[in-house]
Structure 1
Amino acid sequence: MDNAEKIAAKAGNFQLSCFYIGEALCGIDIDQVQEINKQISFTEVPHAPEYVLGIMNLRGRIVTIIDLAKKLGLGLSNLTEESRIIIVSSKEEHIGLLVDKITDVIMADWKQVAPPPSNIKGVQGKYFQGVLNVKNKLVAILDVEEVLAVERG
């Protein structure tokens, strides 16, 4: 099933938690977000893929932290006061996605979502479910399962 068919199969309103990775404005379906964490401390893991920053202990649960910019081919994230880790749940695991800046939560309708172009600002389109035009800004909707697919081998 391609992205256009996946979008057509979805219906109704949903909420997007929006954030920046460099200049790219992205969003994740809020149903996949467990929490947004300001604590950016982690332990490096030897021999991990270069986009894996390390692991952190989040209230007794080990969470793998991924540099989302590196994973998407946008270089490395710059750690700043605005950097955050978005904790997402995928296949009963918690994964932390390092992003440059959190913006806001927006309401959207799947009818307004267009399939992603094959290349979004240098980012591989396969990592996105679609794009949404909000107030003359293009929001790329992240496909969390696709981004994390390699992590599970």
Structure 2
Amino acid sequence: MAEPRKTAKSIDGMLELATFYVGDALCGIDILNIQEINKHTEVTIVPQSPEYVRGVLNLRGKIVTIIDLGKKLGLEPIVKSKDNRNIIVESNEEQIGLFVECISDVLTADPTKIEPPPSNIIGTQGRFFTGVFKTENKLIGILDIDKILTE
């Protein structure tokens, strides 16, 4: 069973979110869940892997499985571009890369202002979201990394 994830909380109780795009959707994850962000996009294809697995790459001697976050969320696959990045996270002592369109900002969020996911994303893909955070001009879907990596 996976260990519970750490929750990024500063002294004032705020949550730090790393944000990124999956297609047109702005998503965020707790910054403490991220080991690194890199731009290695050349992967080795793994035959008979699930359709959302782009492949594997060798990252400083460790084999990292790269997941197309668009496909995993039931959206369009991520279109390869110079802005793509892999967000490397750890699950069950294994490094996994989340392939995303591009990286956005790191935001500080008040956990009391995170709302439940709206009913229009509660379906199949909605299970991967823990909530939504509103900024002045953006909505950020907060991803549940544990669910994404275990389902």
TM-score normalized with structure 1 length:
0.86
In structure 1, distance between residues paired with 2:22 and 2:121: 12
CA contact (8 A) 1:127 1:146 kept: yes
Superposed displacement of residue 122, structure 1: 8.2
Superposed displacement of residue 129, structure 1: 1.0
CA contact (8 A) 1:52 1:66 kept: yes
Q: How does 1:4-153 map to 2 (within 5 A)?
A: 12-120=13-121, 124-150=125-151
Q: Of Structure 1 and Structure 2, which has the larger fraction of its residues in strand?
A: 1
Superposed displacement of residue 123, structure 1: 6.9
Cα deviation code 1:16-63 (max 9, x no counterpart): 000001110000100000000111111000000000011111111111
Structure 1, unpaired ranges of 5+: 1-10
Structure 2, unpaired ranges of 5+: 1-11
SS at the partner of 1:119? helix
Paired-residue identity, %:
54
Moved over 4 A (4+): none
In structure 1, distance between residues paired with 2:107 and 2:91: 22
Q: What amino acid does structure 1 have at the position aligned with 2:120?
A: N
TM-score normalized with structure 2 length:
0.88
Q: Tell me the C-alpha RMSD between the 2 structures.
A: 1.7
CA contact (8 A) 1:12 1:111 kept: no
